[in-house]
Structure 1
Amino acid sequence: MNILIKSATIIDSKSEFHNTTQDLLIENGKITKISSSIKNPKNYKEIKRDNLYISQGWFDSSVSFGEPGYEERETIQNGLKTAAYSGFTSVAVNANTNPVIDSNSDITFLNSKASKNAVNLLPIGALTAASKGNDLAELYDMSSAGAVAFYDYKKPIANPNMMKIALQYASNFDGLVCSFPQENKISGNGVMNENITSTRLGLKGNPALAEELQVARDLFLLEYTGGKLHIPTISTATSVALIREAKKKKLDITCSVAIHNLYFSDAVLTDFDTNFKVLPPLRTQTDIDALIEAVKDGTIDMVTTDHNPIDVEEKKIEFDHANYGAIGLESAFGALQSIFTTKKTIDILTKGKTRFGIEATPIAIGNMANIALFNPDTKYTFSKKDIVSRSKNAIFENESLKGKAYGIIANNQAVLNS
């Protein structure tokens, strides 16, 4: 692949060309020249876009596609195309499948399906067999096959001894254990945040306490075992405070928050729109403020789309019975830019790679191109025409967003919106 990118503003603090507008020559997938003006005597394909910006390729630490088993929700190929059009060059994919990804051969299957793609698929294996919480899955074997972490997607580990053993065992090969922050005995049948809004709507509440008890338990276990823990998608101010304190103790802990938990409060549920039924649930504005501050100060290590396609039959039903989940890849950049500056948004979208074993690739001469292309200033209303996913359960539908991705250049391929 040979490409000449024209007049691109580079946002990459690790590059000597940061905050400058340059032409980039890419030959056989490698950046061979960066200059204010590059001629094109070999007639390479030129990329020109309005208000073009580029950065290192973006990373999402929590994506679900469905395949195998739930191809009606999303396939691996279309999911990776969605990620590419949305600016992501690497996505960590959950074991949210049927059967659950919990063995060496399952990880090999995912890697095979995603091979030769512009987007790197990083498999997350189940922490327990079939994600049932009874026995540890084949963690070492999955790690050997390429699993980057272990997580029973949205299923908390009820048995604290199981979590203790998992942390101890995985530390033998530097494995990353993920634990969903919810105590089911407290959350019960709650379908939204327990608050005045849930009372007004007559919906069962899932209290912040359910998350915070689990976070506190897991941090105590981490301190005891000395393992390596990631807590995905926290949603409360107290969870932030607990993790901030754990980091002061130098525990090996990271955490993430879903973009929609930074943007929407539980007040949006007044119309019973099931696209807003997510887990953890949307919380209060006080929680949102604490989460945003934690992203800014680094207490929260990464922000995820928590992209989870759900087919229409499981969403267009009564709120109590609808499935949890929302797609978020396509709206991620525009939503983040509605909260943060462009510089901070790019920092957010490129953080977390090291935790999941990805080597960052600065925009520099001699490096392979791993680039996201975008326009940070486009203002638009997100609608169904912006959705590439098979499932259309977009939590940001009809929201006014700022900024759109043009696509990516990675793995010696260019995947760009027309």
Structure 2
Amino acid sequence: MSLKQAPARIIGWALPYWTRGAAGRETPEELFRVLYFGWLVAFVFKVLGASWDVSWHFRWLRDDLAPPHLLNTVGTVLAVALTIVHWYTGYGVDRTASRLIQWGTGTFLIAIPLDLINHRINGLDITAWSPSHALLFIGTALMIAGVIRGWFVTAPAGRLRTVVLTCLFGFFLENAIFPSQHQEYGVLGLAAWIRGEPDAEPQLLNFAAESLGRPVDLVAIQNFSLPVPDAVYSVYAGVVGMIILVMARIMVGRTGTATMIAIGYLAYRMLIWPLLVAGGFPGSAIPFFLLLAALAVDLAFLVPLPAYVRPLVGTALVTAGVYGGLYLQDLLLEAPPYAPSSWPLAAGLLVAVWLLAEVFTRRYRLRAEDAVAAVH
């Protein structure tokens, strides 16, 4: 088939499926594979664009049409198209999955103009933890949650089901960890400035200083590089990052699930790091501590305990993994600033959300043993 013939062939294949239907309708196997392969491709583009974007903004001032934004836009366009297909045809999703995807995509699309307005008014948004950025992360999280739900209730049993579900949780973890990359880049960026070898262009340094009404000095650079309290990094990783790994272990149901997701995420960060640095962009502190924390999650599920006792034991193991891992990383390599004394807060929040996860997954039949091919 020539390139000229390809569009006509694709349209000819897709048109018979373009019929209005309710979510949960029986989905042809070939269409099902295409839809979820499309989601994987969309998330790959979004991750690549996001990874480049955060490094980009530690070197240059913001640009709406910067290459990372364009790369991310490719993934967004694919996601919007897939959202419309699910909504209109009802193929490949149940009602809950479809609504999550719609709400996620809608939130993301609303966040884009709000973020642009914010930047037009305030210039560079100094921190990844801003409200407009939060809407982008929340929208993406809802979108991925909907795709996870859709795959969970519709995919047939088998190795492919397990592999794709694990990958989708990997994307979920990446999106959740993304705002923390501000500290992961910031700790190295601050060190580079102190050495007299700043990664950022003078225009960016000047802007960061002017935003605080200061000269380009240590206070200004520290506020740009590490704008949130140290406890944010460790508590966020110890609660949000870990509950995603816990949910993955519950829903996938395979020994080592959390560890495999952490290995995959870290492998990606280790691959993208030299590529960015070779391209002249700043590097980041890779969160290697996640591996020890993920091992603790999997260990918690190896212990034969009642379901509602496991969160208590698991929280102790995982909190030790997070804070012990951060301590070792800071000792041996480089870790973002964190607050060791924040572990009781992280532990208290984690045990609460872990207990909720146990109740939620049982009530709504989201555990691995509950999985059935509901649509096929």
TM range (shorter): under 0.3
Structure having the higher strand fraction is 1
Structure having the higher helix fraction is 2
